[in-house]
A and B are shown apart, each in its own frame.
Chain A
Amino acid sequence: MNSETSTERSEQGLQAWQFFVLAGLLCATVATFMARGQSVASIVLATVLMAATTIVGIAVLRTVRPLVFGDEDRTLMVGQRTRVALEREKALVLRSIKELEFDKAMGKLSESDFQEMSGRLRARATRLMRQLDAGGGYRAQVEQDLAKRIGEAPAPQAASFCSTCGTARDVDAKFCKNCGAKL
């Protein structure tokens, strides 16, 4: 199961996919019982067969479910891309800068080449960090969920930037976390 479906509905007790697991376990037990006296290989195989069938059941559920329920998309997005993707890209750019510095120290790069290449990478890292700052963070998501759970309307998202420096502000913040200006 993917993380979305498993976390989201946990409050509802028994989930549909757990039914298949239980059924699979049951069938495997029955198969093992009926196959007693036969070789170990065939018992193992019967169990594997049951496990595979269980997975088929879960996969069918996984295929049909989005069509029926159309679960709301909870993935954090920053612009057109997922937050995970941006964070990963940032990590990779930082890693590249590190590698470049190492190459420089090993004498594999001249000073001017290093300046130019590292400048380009740093600019890219900065841009990604800005994007990540601007996009809604995990906190906003948590607030939203919480609000929904308690039954309140989601907190207004309008004034979520500091008017002085433009940094994203937390919903309950009284001062900007970057420049300290009163909000």
Chain B
Amino acid sequence: MASLGTFLLLSSFVVCAYAAVSSVVGARRGSRRLIESGIGALYLVAALMAVATAVIINAFLTDDFSIRYVAAESETLQPLFYKITSYWGGLNGSIMFWVFLLSVFGSVAVWVNKERHRELIPYVVATISTVEMFFLYLMVVHKNPFTTFLTPAPADGTGLNPLLQNYWMAIHPPSLYTGFVGMTIPFAFGLAALITGNLDDSWLRAVRRWTMVAWLFLSFGLMLGMIWAYEVLAWGGYWGWDPVENAAVLPWFTATAFLHSVMVQERRSMLRVWNVTLVILTFFLTIFGTFLTRSGVVQSVHAFGDDPQLARLFTGFMVVILTFSFGLVIYRLPLLRARNSELDSWVSREAAFLANNWILLFCAFFVAFATMFPTLSEAVTGTRMTVGPPFFNKWMLPIGLVLLFLTGLGPLLAWRKSTVTNLIEQFAWPVGGMVVTLGALAALGFTQWAALTCFGLCAFVMTTIGQEFWRGAMVRRKNTGSDVFTALVGLVARNKRRYGGYIVHVGIVLIFVGFAGNAYKRDVTQLLQPGQQMTVGAYTVRNDQVKVIEDGQKQSVVAYISVFKGGKQIDTMYPAKASFRKHQNEPPRTDAAIRRTLPEDLYLVLASFDLGTQAISLNVVVNPLVNWVWLGFGLLAFGTGIALLPETTFSFALAKVGSPEAATTTVAVIVALMLFGAPRSAYAQHVELPGSISTPTNQLEKTMRDEIGCTCGSCAHEALSKCICGQAAQMREDLRAEIDSGKNHDQIISSLIVKYGGEHFLSQPLDRGFNRLAWLFPYLLGGVGVIGVSVVAMRWSKHGHDSETTDNAPQDAAMNERLDDELRNLD
């Protein structure tokens, strides 16, 4: 079986090469035969990869441990479901899975667009095949999942990493990969348009839908990752700016920017160069993200370890992508220049889109920079340091809020220019909504400025969207003479893209509400003797007993916790720690128990236990509004789905809606994550079991615990005030010792740097030397962006209306009448 697999990979590689060459030659010589054959070869790759996939899954199901990859990722006792998902549980298999998805996605895209974009297809086929070739090459020469043992095969495998044995983790990678892989399609069409010089809007139309699909999967993948982190990593949050998370969110930013700026090109024929650039950049970032996580360049919770050769291969590929595609852009620059680009006013929707794009790009570059900074710093100064969540949050919180504001602002502005009356008419309700909400919240005693701003902006955006729906329905009612409800349904059906987009925006607002809830999070860790209880917020929890439960694969220690609210028992929860037999030397997996309700989650983590006395150290987190984040993602998917419905759907199903304008908001979702204020932690008096947190003795210790991150490597570099692992406890001891010896803040930092041999334990880089760059960079980036956008806008403003006349040929009346007829029939 193993040699069959290798053979399939090799033949896929050869067929890919054939597809690329025959399509390019066919296109150059105008030979339909060669082009058709190239398309066939592309389908063939998908078929071959499907067989290879079946072969490797078969190896997992039959426990064929003579294959190294199977032995490393599976074991006999593993449940069937996780045996299948082990396929993409490791590095080699995930590359293969990637190629499989890409070949399927690419085949479908080519099949659908074969006739519509005939002139582009040969180069699309060539581009997709080339990308596939790269990954196949990686596998064949370096990371072959079908490699066998030279020595006799082991009797049993080591099993999938326990952290990955979770149903969210089973579907998270396929979704994320589909998103990543999907971004190859727009890139392939963009390149084909550049190569053939067919740079009118038609390639964009082919691509828009595919970008939306990929974007949807990407967002969905991000959400699944967040849920997984929330349930499995057991630190009470869902986003820690880990490099792997960042890698996934980078292309998401640029894809979102593209989905917005594409509308400007469709409507106003502006931003052509920009759109091509965004498509290329998005694809590049998907490869860059893979590079980050697979080559060990950055340290991360779930990076796959050091691999310099893989890093070199990826670097080479990335250089080729950048050189080739941007070379083409420069070569085609004369053709790309827009015919009527003029920005008539700074108060227009175009300007709002420009701002949106600039901010999204800022996010992408900032996150990329901050993720790479530790590596850069190590290369320049020789010491590795850390850029932790506080640094990200410092920037992403305000940026997220600005984006949220733009989400509400954009739909209100007119194209070309907004007049003053126009502005008053459009803004009255939304601003009113915001003021009322802010007033109400302030009256209720909410004071956190960030959360308050966020809630206010959410109200602003919601009123805007409500107003759009209402006014649209009114217009439609007037035109069609139907009742309001019918008009509303018809409205969405008729403008699926726009109103689907608004629905996505509503989803984003919900997500922001969830983020803002983070500011009111409560987090208490306390030692509970059997029968003893503690109270957090409205909840009282009691330690009933601790039990050990075994199955063949693992041994779990489960605490039985009774939960009371308002004096009545509402639930029994079972937080646990599970040790996997095959992973004895790793820390046990912490299984948090979560009680989900719409207003707040009760989140219990078994921090540590003593089986003899039945005492446990329990970490109780009350997370307000978390479920709104997931709900928001659901709505986001629904809105995108509506936008994706084919044109003809309306005629049959008037009740469906859809549109892609909404993407802006989503950005903010991720941005806001942990931004909102430091969680208020309360530390109860207790004995320090390993894994629980002692109370800080003074203010200095409290501040410094927030500044120092745990270096154990298995948590998301959490602050010492939060992390419950043994390493963190040791580090807290160190800190206490330093404080007791009477040193001040700076002295302690420098003595700890000596002690730990580097600055990596700090959650933000120190503002000195080379590291000052980390602090300067965002300002630089922002400044350059503002200047760039201004220059472009200025140049457009000067253009004037000189080029409008080309198309206004005299029209004959008969034609006009036919046109009007067809337009009427559209409704």
Q: Spell out A's residues near B (CB within 8 Å).
A: 2, 39, 41-42, 45, 48-49, 52-53, 55-56, 58-67, 70-71, 73, 75, 80-82, 84-85, 88-89, 91-92, 94-99, 102-103, 105-110, 113, 116-117, 119-120, 122-127, 129-130, 178
Contact = CB atoms under 8 A, between A and B. Distances in A.
B751 interface: no
Contacts of A109: 414-416
B495 interface: yes
Given A67-B34, A67-B37, A89-B205, 14 more contacts: A41-B61, A42-B61, A59-B41, A59-B46, A59-B47, A75-B115, A84-B115, A85-B116, A95-B826, A96-B267, A98-B494, A107-B414, A110-B417, A120-B804
B44 interface: yes
Interface of B: 15, 18, 32-34, 36-37, 39-41, 43-44, 46-48, 50-51, 53-55, 57-58, 61-62, 80, 111, 114-119, 202, 205, 266-267, 349, 414-417, 419, 422, 425-426, 468, 471-472, 475, 478-479, 494-495, 498, 647, 804, 807-809, 811, 814-816, 818-819, 822-823, 826-827
B791 to A, nearest CB: 25
Contacts of A85: 115-118, 202
B32 A66 contact: yes
13 contacts: A41-B80, A53-B51, A60-B44, A62-B40, A63-B41, A70-B33, A84-B115, A89-B205, A108-B349, A109-B416, A110-B416, A119-B808, A178-B814
A84 B116 contact: yes
A96 B266 contact: yes
Nearest to A48: B54
Nearest to B421: A107
A2 B495 contact: no
Nearest to A69: B33
Contacts of A52: 47, 50-51, 53-54
Contacts of A67: 33-34, 37
Given A45-B61, A59-B40, A63-B40, A89 B202 contact: yes
Contact of B826 (A98, A105, A122, A127): A98
A125 B205 contact: no
A130 B34 CA distance: 33
Most buried by B among A55, A56, A92, A123: A56
Nearest to A126: B815
A55 B50 contact: yes
Contacts of A55: 46-47, 50
Contacts of B811: 122-123, 126
Most buried by B among A39, A41, A91: A41
B822 A82 contact: no
A60 B498 CA distance: 43
Given A49-B55, A85-B116, A56 B815 contact: no
B678 to A, nearest CB: 42
Contacts of B422: 107
Contacts of A91: 647
B416 A113 contact: yes
Contact of A129 (B39, B54, B116, B818): B818
A73 B61 CA distance: 46
Nearest to B48: A56
B602 to A, nearest CB: 38
A56 B51 contact: yes
Q: Which of B414, B809, B816 gathers the greatest number of chain A CB atoms within 10 Å?
A: B414
A129 B815 contact: yes
Given A49-B58, A95-B647, A116 B804 contact: yes
A60 B43 CA distance: 9
A124 to B, nearest CB: 6
